[in-house]
Amino acid sequence: MSTWANLGLQDSASPLMEQLIFFHDHALLILVMITVLVGYLMFMLFFNTYINRFLLHGQLIEMIWTILPAIILLFIALPSLRLLYLLDEINEPSVTLKSIGHQWYWSYEYSDFNDIEFDSYMIPTNELSNDGFRLLDVDNRIVLPMNSQIRILVTAADVIHSWTIPALGVKVDGTPGRLNQTNFFMNRPGLFYGQCSEICGANHSFMPIVIESVPVNYFIKWISNNINS
Ligand code: CUA
Q: What tens digit of pLDDT does each residue of 16-70 get? A: 999 999 999 999 999 999 999 999 999 999 999 988 888 899 999 999 999 999 9
**C-beta of 17 in contact with ligand 1 (< 6 A):** no
136 phi and psi angles, rounded to 5 deg? -130, -25
Measured in angstroms, how far is the CA atom of residue 159 from the centroid of ligand 1?
8
- Residue 193 near residue 1 (C-beta atoms within 8 A): yes
Q: Can you give the residue ranges of every domain in the chain?
A: 15-88, 95-228
- Residue 145 near residue 90 (C-beta atoms within 8 A): no
Q: What is the pTM of this model?
A: 0.88
Distance CA(175)–CA(163), nearest Å, equals 11
Q: Is there a shared CATH topology between the 15-88 domain and the 95-228 domain?
A: no
Is 212 in a helix, a strand, or coil?
A: strand
Measured in angstroms, how far is the CA atom of residue 119 from the centroid of ligand 1?
15
Measured in angstroms, how far is the CA atom of residue 150 from the centroid of ligand 1?
23
Q: Residue 114's pLDDT band (boundaries 50, 70, 90)?
A: confident
Take atom 1 of ligand 1 and give the residue whose Cα is closest: 161
- Residue 162 near residue 196 (C-beta atoms within 8 A): yes
Q: Which residue blocks in the chain are alpha helix, DSSP H?
A: 15-45, 59-88, 216-228
CATH architecture of 15-88: Orthogonal Bundle (1.10)
* Per-residue pLDDT tens over the stretch 126-151: 999 999 999 999 999 999 999 999 99
Residue 114 identity: N
Strand pairing category for 142-145 and 209-214: parallel
Please check whether the domain covering 95-228 is classified as CATH 3.40.800.10.
Answer: no
Is 166 in a helix, a strand, or coil?
A: helix
